[in-house]
């Protein structure tokens, strides 16, 4: 048996997550649905390339208006 093995130990966090999963069995599916709304998207590569090429270079001092008077 390993010195570091703790076969009967479970942290408070692990216990909380396991209880949460038992109390709310649809939680993981709901999380996956929420993720798919924001993150799991197909990227239109041509639109992305057009947007990247349309960027305008930022001025060294962003608040400078181009006029020489103060």
**Domain count along the chain:** 1
The answer to whether residue 66 is domain-embedded is no
The answer to whether residue 3 is domain-embedded is no
- pLDDT at position 66 is 67
User: What domain range includes position 25?
Assistant: 12-53
Indicate if the pLDDT at residue 33 is higher than 90: yes
The answer to whether residue 43 is domain-embedded is yes
The answer to whether residue 19 is domain-embedded is yes
Percent with pLDDT over 70 in the chain:
90
The answer to whether residue 4 is domain-embedded is no
Indicate if the pLDDT at residue 70 is higher than 60: no
The residue among 34, 37, 36, 38 whose CA lies nearest residue 26 is 34
Q: Per residue in 35-66, pLDDT tens?
A: 988 888 888 999 999 999 999 888 788 787 76
The answer to whether residue 37 is domain-embedded is yes
DSSP 6-59: -TT---HHHHHHHHHHHH-TTHHHHHHHHHHHHT-----HHHHHHHHHT--PPP
The answer to whether residue 17 is domain-embedded is yes
């Amino acid at each position: 048996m390993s010195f570091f093995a703790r076969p009967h130990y479970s942290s408070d966090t692990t216990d909380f997550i396991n209880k949460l999963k038992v109390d709310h069995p649809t939680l993981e599916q709901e999380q996956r649905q929420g993720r798919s709304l924001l993150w799991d998207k197909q990227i239109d590569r041509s639109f992305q390339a057009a947007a990247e090429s349309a960027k305008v270079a930022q001025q060294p001092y962003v608040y400078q208006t181009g006029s020489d008077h103060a």
